[in-house]
Homo-oligomer: A and B are copies of this chain.
Amino acid sequence: MTDDLQFAPRGTTADIEEGTAFAPKFDANGLITAVITDIASGDVLMVAHMNAEALQRTIESGEAWFYSRSRKKLWKKGESSGHVQRVIELRVDCDQDALWLKVEQNGPGACHTGRRSCFYRAVPLGNGSAVTLEFRDAEKTFDPAAIYATPGDK
């Protein structure tokens, strides 16, 4: 890790929306939302969160780091599974409170359940009173039990 990255102060709305200063807005827990898409398919693989250090490490290394809210720790994607995400492009949104990472996903999948994407179930539309999820693109591409030493340790 080199010297700390200098994130810009938040500034005016014009600074944030039309400027070139990177002023990410971390929430009350010090986190920013990151959407991860597959550079090949364009599909959303996962949604995760970064704290300032995870963001800095991602920028410096070009590999995705996150902060696990459940495990309360910095986490390099693929550190257990080998399913590292190489960041091809990192974008920030208009108000700089969300990030979009286009990644090259190493290995057979991003989801700790053993699937390519975490989004393997659809919510049917047009229902007025009840919802039953429908599995889509839900085939398992790897066996999580064989990959992860600890359940849930992504």
Contacts and interface: CB of A to CB of B under 8 A. Distances in A.
Interface of A: 2-7, 13, 17-22, 33, 35, 37, 41-44, 46-47, 58-60, 62, 87, 89-95, 98-100, 111-113, 115, 118-136, 152
User: Which secondary structure dominates chain A's binding surface?
Assistant: loop
Number of this chain's copies in the assembly equals 2
Contact of A44 (B4, B100, B121, B134): B100
Contacts of A119: 91-93, 100
A97 B33 CA distance: 12
A125 B59 contact: yes
A123 B59 contact: yes
Contact of A118 (B13, B22, B94): B94
